[in-house]
Amino acid sequence: MPLLLLLFALFVPRVVIVLLWLFSTWFTGSIHWVLGVLGFVFLPYTLLWYTAVQHWYGGEWGVLQLVILVIAVLADLGLPGSTRYRRSENL
């Protein structure tokens, strides 16, 4: 079941955030509610990874956790220039 939830989170992270918030204590004590709302709206992958580090690793940030955090931020923001470059070619 956790693997299914992880795969589901890759495709629809906001749905997983809502499900975790409603049916578990995943976010309890890890973030302030304002940051949770901002993360839900703007950076859902980053929010999920940040809370995963708080939950699974006890808040200990190592190299692996930081690398995955950078990947999550890039996924949230979109890879730089990917769509903008394609649009400029068609003009």
C-alpha Rg value of the chain to the nearest Å:
15
Q: CA-to-CA distance for 50 and 66, rounded, in angstroms?
A: 10
Q: What is the pTM of this model?
A: 0.79
pLDDT in tens, 5-34: 778 888 899 999 999 899 988 888 888 889
- How would you class 75 by CB atoms within 10 Å of its CB: exposed for 0-12, middle for 13-18, buried for 19 or more? middle
pLDDT at residue 88 greater than cutoff 70: no
Q: Locate 1 and state its tokens.
A: 């079941």
